[in-house]
Chain A
Amino acid sequence: MAAPFDRNDDSVVVIIGTGAGGGVLANELAQKGVSVVALEAGGRYLPEDYINDEWDSFGQLAWTDPRTTSGDWRVAKDFSGLPAWIVKAVGGTTIHWAGASLRFQPHEWKALTTYGAIDGASLIDWPIDDAEMAPWYDKAEKKLNVTRTNGNPGLPGNNNFKVFEAGAKKLGYKEVHTGNMAINSRDNTDRMSCQQTGFCFQGCKWGAKWSAAYTDIPEGEATGNLEVRSKCHVARILHNEAGKVTGVEYFDEAGNLQMQKARIVAVAGNSMESPRLLLNSASSMFPDGLANSSGQVGRNYMRHLTGSVYGIFDKPVKMWRGTTMAGIVRDEARHDPSRGFSGGFELETLSLGLPFMAAFLDPGAWGREFTSALDQYENMAGMWIVGEDMPQADNRVTLSDVEDQHGLKVANVNYSDHANDRAMRDYAYKVGSQIYDSLGATRTMPTPPYPSTHNLGTNRMSEKPEDGVVNKWGQTHDIANLFVSDGSQFTTGAAENPTLTIVALAIRQADHIASEMSAGNI
């Protein structure tokens, strides 16, 4: 099993963060015989530890270190200290995630070309395309054992899906099914099938849903090439006079500052922490932060436009029973400017338990308008809107004046909706409500975005160094042995839930790093 690496061993690849990007990269490199030290700020929790209770689970897993917010998004007002709902644990947010696993549509790799320039949006094309990514998506779908791929059947539809499906079909939608989910629809050798417990967001106690926490991480460790150090918070990335990174400084579980040398450093702390870390690593040689000669680190933060629609019926639904997000309408994902906006959106079933519904249905609301809706909780159906939001240069992560428990400046997240985002959300609210109205809903509720679960774009990938932070391999334009390996690489957000793409990029990046290492290029 994994032998601890010496902190002065400068032959290792250091990966910061062990979520969808970092956890997969760590395993993939370890499988290829590369020595990896993965530093993870959070602790280690496995299915037996997960809690089927929304707030208790949140307390166990969520990142609650301070962050600050600004901009006109409602999250900044309702949840000013909690811009994002992400996990701080070995396995990262793949513990919380619902498992929806969709490929980008081909045109979404080329947003600028497809949509044309849009006022106020900092659109560019990805430097990669559908043909380039197809084989990596194949591998990602296999790894995650995604339903409706690799011969896996779809999941059975639960109550919430049946309402959603019936309404969608009444409206004439065609592509309606229980989704492409990284959830076992039948037992396989490693993990059992979904038991329809309905706490997918709280960590799957059966292990039916893929999470790096109990797949890639232990698989990597089993090779002997991966050491995961949990409760180790990276404070700074170090570099030498030649401008190459040489290692990292981190606070260990006891709060002591340690140093780990490295041949290569890969940053995968999620789109808020990764730019924060690069900015906090500023030095006299790189006064604006590492890999930031373009000034793009932290910019173009995207979060999908999101929003939910809940419908109340005169009869029970019991939407909380069964898989949280196994239901999708894909017809609106296309790019069709005749709807009044560029890009598209997915509609996906969603359920919150009563405690989270109370917190998120209409934050800040009170009185009978609010409580009469909750009174009908049993008769509610719910869906989530996942749409492409426009990248904007000033939607960005910067360093705040607030410091965390280690004395490190925290991330401030500034976000304002683009006019295209508002137009798309309004349209999606309308069709979402119609889905329920068509079945005789007595009330529908267009619910505002929750704290961000899809955090993207703050170290974006670009062909030209001046347009972004990393090249098509996730390698920073400025520093050859510094990589970015998480959702922050996203050039644009597409309409799809991001994780399958993060995983596909990580598998591809591992391949690239390993071959560049053996070629002696880095």
Chain B
Amino acid sequence: MNTHTKPLRGMTRRQLLTGATAMGAFVIGSGYVAGSNAAWATEMQAMSPEGFATLVQMARDIYPHDRVADEYYAAAVKGYDTQDKAEMAEQGIAALNARAMEMKGDDYLNIGWERDRVDVLRSMEDDAFFQTVRGGLVTGLYNQKAIWPIFGYEGESYSQGGYINRGFDDITWVG
């Protein structure tokens, strides 16, 4: 799963993006390039790589889980990278960047601290775009079975005979 390659420290995300596009892969998140053979690498269908990378960062800032890798946030918002949704998403990202510029003097992706990006998001949280992205993430992110183990959640248990012999009452610190 985790097939990140080559951490590229010391480059701006914009440089990464440019490089990545040239390499025929796309870049997400904080300093890693996904090889084109990586499980999560995804080719842009309709969105710009910059726009998509911003959307992924926005997704992480809405529901930040430091132990959940970018690939899952990317998967959660990949649905916007379609002919009929890309325009809406790009417009939303453009508005986000405009607000980021106004409030913090830079594009959203270039704001270094989560706290500052969250300020920008808070100022837009009643907007339709924010609500659409947030609402979609509730299932788009948390319904990915691959992230459940990170939270300890075990998913279905019927195929294993339930928990009757597998620790339904194995708590040790009470009783």
Contact = CB atoms under 8 A, between A and B. Distances in A.
Contact of A198 (B125, B142, B151, B157): B157
A367 B139 contact: no
Given A158-B168, A321-B163, A367-B118, A374 B62 contact: no
Interface string B137-164: 0110111000010011111111001111
B151 A197 contact: no
B-side interface size class: 35 or more
29 contacts: A52-B157, A52-B158, A53-B155, A156-B168, A158-B169, A159-B171, A162-B175, A194-B162, A195-B161, A195-B163, A197-B158, A198-B157, A198-B162, A199-B156, A206-B158, A316-B171, A321-B167, A353-B153, A354-B148, A358-B138, A358-B141, A367-B64, A371-B63, A371-B65, A374-B65, A374-B151, A375-B151, A377-B151, A439-B174
B163 A198 contact: yes
A196 B163 contact: yes
Given A162-B175, A358-B142, A371-B65, A199 B158 contact: yes
B136 to A, nearest CB: 12
Interface in A328-350: none
A79 to B, nearest CB: 11
Given A354-B148, A374-B151, A195 B64 contact: no
B158 A196 contact: no
Contacts of A158: 163, 168-169
Given A158-B168, A366-B63, A163 B174 contact: yes
Given A162-B169, A195-B164, A315-B173, A320 B62 contact: no
A321 to B, nearest CB: 4
Interface in A180-238: 194-199, 205-206
A251 B138 CA distance: 35
Interface in A346-374: 353-355, 357-359, 364, 366-368, 370-371, 374
A418 interface: no
Contact of B152 (A159, A162, A378): A378
Nearest to A163: B174
B142 A354 contact: yes
Given A197-B163, A206-B162, A321 B156 contact: no
A382 interface: no
A195 B162 CA distance: 5
Contacts, number: 116
Contacts of B168: 156, 158-159, 196, 198, 321-323
A367 B173 CA distance: 31
B84 interface: no
Contacts of A205: 158
Nearest to A368: B64
A55 interface: yes
Contacts of A165: 175
Nearest to B141: A358
B130 to A, nearest CB: 9
Nearest to A363: B138
Contacts of A322: 163, 168-169
Contacts of B173: 315
Contacts of B161: 195
Contact of A55 (B61, B118, B139, B164): B139
Contacts of A368: 64
B140 to A, nearest CB: 10
